Amino acid sequence: MDLSTHAHPDWMVCDVAGKIDIFTAHALREHLLAALGRPGYRLLLDMSMVTAMDASGVAVLLSTLRRAVRHGGTLRLIAPAPVVRGLLKVSGLSGKFAVSADLAGARIAEPLPAGVG
């Protein structure tokens, strides 16, 4: 699994590529928690290059979403690969996650909170 993060003034964009499974989920969790540590708790997660994901990956996404929301932030998935969309649908969690087709759409869908910017 490959991870990278790009800081923007208003949010963090994390790119995930490769397999998310029981062996890589811990690294993903740590990476996302570090990204959420920035002010605002606004995270855009590009999952277009994910090639495989199991239940441990779903657990990481769900716990990251809960943490972001608990701190008044957001987590939005960008272009989740078919394997990700399928697993979220089968698990009954697809409705829990905000999804955008691309980064430009995510920026429009995630406006800044009042008084910011």
> What does each of the 117 residues of the chain score in pLDDT, given as a tens digit?
999 998 877 788 999 999 999 999 999 999 999 998 876 778 999 999 999 999 999 999 999 999 999 988 889 999 999 999 999 999 999 999 999 998 888 877 765 544 333
> How confident is the model at residue 114, as a pLDDT?
41
Q: What pLDDT was estimated at residue 110?
A: 63
- Nearby residues of 39 by Cβ (< 8 Å), 6 or more positions away: none
Count CB-CB contacts under 10 A for residue 85. 16
Tell whether the torsion through CA atoms of 81, 83, 86 and 88 is positive or negative: negative
Whole-number pLDDT of residue 115: 39
Can you say how many angstroms the Cα of residue 65 is from the centroid of all Cα atoms in its chain?
Answer: 8
First to last CA, the chain: 34
Q: What tokens appear for 72 in the block? A: 């008044």
